[in-house]
């Protein structure tokens, strides 16, 4: 059976914004010292797809050995958002992705599943004028497993109907939880090691032919 739906991660898949967020996390934690800032940046790059709220809690508990209140988590997350949102909006799209979306959004059901806060990703995709390509756009605080579950239930999709395109082990594992085919976008700033994935792309140039082979 031909697949019906494609779920896209956002940063590093639709927009080349991974470096923006790596730098933002580095800058956010630089007041705690360069060593901590480097560890934070490295952890973020290796653990894409996880919400910034979870990461901030992790950094304080495991790197700083400090307790942090939810109010303080929110304050840091807000500072992070202020530093990245406009930069993400203006970041370059991954090569070929706009052409693929435009040509195929009426053929397939397109969704976004990202660790970015949902309010923020809705603002970003609207500002980029790409929100109309997607049936629904999901963000944190819900995790990607819950996004996928909702999509499959609401649109009556089976695993064989669906493809997930991501750039992190978290994306791969979330798709694998449901037996969904995973395509890894592997690039310079890929969020974690996807080099062994059987299905890989560098960008979306020629992606229609590539995806047709998976059907």
Same domain, 164 and 113: yes
Burial of 189 per CB tally in 10 Å (0-12, 13-18, 19+):
middle
Whole-angstrom CA distances from 129 to 10, 169, 198 are 14, 28, 32
Same domain, 105 and 194: yes
Model pLDDT, residue 158: 95
Q: How far apart are CA 76 and CA 57, in angstroms?
A: 10
Domain tally, the chain = 2
Model pLDDT, residue 152: 97
Do residues 164 and 174 make contact, with C-beta atoms less than 8 angstroms apart? yes
> Is this structure's pTM higher than 0.95?
no
Same domain, 167 and 191: yes
In this structure, the chain runs to a length of 215
Give me 203's structure tokens.
């960008």
Q: How far apart are CA 211 and CA 25, in angstroms?
A: 34
Same domain, 12 and 117: yes
Same domain, 177 and 124: yes
Model pLDDT, residue 65: 95
Range list of H helices, 105-168: 118-127, 144-154
* Residue ending a domain, choose from 74, 90, 106: 90
Q: Average pLDDT per run of 10 along the chain, which is 215 residues long?
A: 89 92 93 95 83 93 94 94 91 96 96 94 97 97 95 96 93 95 82 72 87 74
Model pLDDT, residue 200: 85
CATH number at residue 67: 1.10.150
Residue where the block lists tokens 């406009």: 86
* Residue ending a domain, choose from 57, 73, 90: 90
Same domain, 66 and 9: no
CATH number at residue 158: 3.40.50.1000
* Residue ending a domain, choose from 37, 68, 90: 90
Same domain, 174 and 96: yes
Do residues 7 and 164 make contact, with C-beta atoms less than 8 angstroms apart? yes
Q: Which domain holds residue 139?
A: 5-16+92-214
Residues contacting residue 106 through CB under 8 Å, at least 6 positions apart: none
Same domain, 117 and 96: yes
DSSP structural state of residue 155? T
Same domain, 128 and 177: yes
Same domain, 196 and 100: yes
Model pLDDT, residue 191: 54
Q: How far apart are CA 25 and CA 43, in angstroms?
A: 10
Model pLDDT, residue 1: 45
Phi, psi of 100, deg, nearest 5: -65, -45
Give me 184's structure tokens.
């890894």
Give me 182's structure tokens.
């995973």
Same domain, 34 and 59: yes
The Cβ of residue 126 has, within 10 Å, a number of other Cβ atoms equal to: 13
Same domain, 79 and 96: no
């Amino acid at each position: 059976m031909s697949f019906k739906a494609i779920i896209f991660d956002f940063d590093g898949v639709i927009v080349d914004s991974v470096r923006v967020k790596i730098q933002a996390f580095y800058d956010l934690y630089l007041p705690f010292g360069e060593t901590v800032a480097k560890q934070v940046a490295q952890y973020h790059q290796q653990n894409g797809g996880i919400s910034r709220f979870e990461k901030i809690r992790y950094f304080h508990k495991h790197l700083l050995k400090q307790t942090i209140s939810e109010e303080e988590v929110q304050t840091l997350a807000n500072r992070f958002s202020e530093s990245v949102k406009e930069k993400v909006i203006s970041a370059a799209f991954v090569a070929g992705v706009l052409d693929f979306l435009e040509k195929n959004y009426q053929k397939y059901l397109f969704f976004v599943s990202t660790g970015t806060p949902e309010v923020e990703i809705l603002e970003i995709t609207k500002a980029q004028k790409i929100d109309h390509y997607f049936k629904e756009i999901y963000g944190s605080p819900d995790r990607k497993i819950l996004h996928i579950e909702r999509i499959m239930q609401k649109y009556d999709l089976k695993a064989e109907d669906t493809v997930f395109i991501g750039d992190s082990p978290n994306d791969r594992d979330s798709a694998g939880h449901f037996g969904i085919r995973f395509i890894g976008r592997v690039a310079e700033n890929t969020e974690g090691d996807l080099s062994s994935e059987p299905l890989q792309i560098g960008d979306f140039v020629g992606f229609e032919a590539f995806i047709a082979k998976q059907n």
